[in-house]
Amino acid sequence: MHFEAGYFSEPDKNLTATWLLFKGNKIVTLDRKLQFSPSEIESYKLKNYLVRSQQIEGADGHLLNIAELSQETVLPEEMTCINLRQLLGEIPDELFFLAGKASQLLFWDYTHQFCSRCGGQTENKYDERAKICPSCGFVNYPRISPAIIVAIIKGHEILLAKGSRFQGGFYSVLAGFVEPGETFEECVQREVREEVGIKVKNIKYFGSQPWPFPDSLMVGFTAEYASGDIIIDNKEIIDAGWFAIENMPLIPKTGSIARRLIDWFVESQDKQARS
């Protein structure tokens, strides 16, 4: 069955399509493989444990079923549950972000079982990707939370910071969520001022990346240092400084837009050195 964009149907009851499976906030793998064939779903007797099933377009443009397994599901020994973040850079980007989309939609399905207006139980809206309340008609669409992420350059140095929630002690570029009524550029200026106390100029769009943890869209920018001294907020940021390519700290692994921004800085410095 070919997936028709914009049309939402019930999960494939005949199990003729490939499946991505999750248990809680982790993805289920079989020998490091993420996609399950219909025969594997049948042979492992998993279809009776499927909850919150949806459909998305797979990498080949065909139907892909996605579902969460109930917490009571006892998986065979050869299956494991892995935090999706751990697979960043370990599997092809296309597959990682496909699994991320699946995870984000299942999270939305889970958190929108009831209407926020009247409390009634919601249903899938079959002409578009949405939840509708049959009691009051209120419609909810999948939530996307935009956030900025910015590489700030000062001469031959880049500003990198260690976040209070970072695990592993790495440093990265600054990021933060967009507030209501705020442009992306205003968000860049505010987040930088709040987190490290400096002002920036020449803000330029770099690129974007969906970040399904649980529902962000990272919008990347570059900017130049304008004025001020680094004064960290000691809440979200516990350390920050200017780094040249010769003394770079531990940075995020490949696959994230944070790493792409840092790699862009390193490559631009290499080009300047060769010119």
Among 120-129, 144-153, 240-249, the minimum mean pLDDT is found in 120-129
> Is 180 in the same domain as 263?
yes
pLDDT in tens, 166-194: 877 899 999 999 999 999 999 999 999 99
> Is 238 in the same domain as 163?
yes
Alpha-helical runs (H) found in the chain: 38-43, 93-111, 184-196, 257-274
Mean pLDDT over residues 228-254, rounded?
95
Q: How many domains does the chain fold into?
A: 2
Residue at 51 is within a domain: yes
> Is 185 in the same domain as 240?
yes
> Is 32 in the same domain as 98?
yes
Statement: residue 11 has pLDDT above 70: no
Longest dimension (CA), the chain: 67
Kindly tell me the sign of the dihedral angle through the C-alpha atoms of 235, 228, 145, 92: negative
Produce one character per residue of 201-212: b if its CB has 16 or more CB atoms within 10 Å, e if not: eebeebeebebb
Residue at 139 is within a domain: no
Q: What is the pLDDT of residue 2?
A: 47
Nearest Cα to 58, choosing from 126, 127, 3?
3
> Is 92 in the same domain as 209?
no
Q: What is the pLDDT of residue 9?
A: 52
Position 275 confidence tier, pLDDT thresholds 50, 70, 90:
confident
For residues 71 and 93, what is the distance between their CA atoms, to the nearest angstrom?
28
Q: What is the mean pLDDT of the chain?
A: 91
pLDDT in tens, 100-110: 999 999 999 99
Asked if 104 contacts 114 with a C-beta cutoff of 8 angstroms, the reply is no
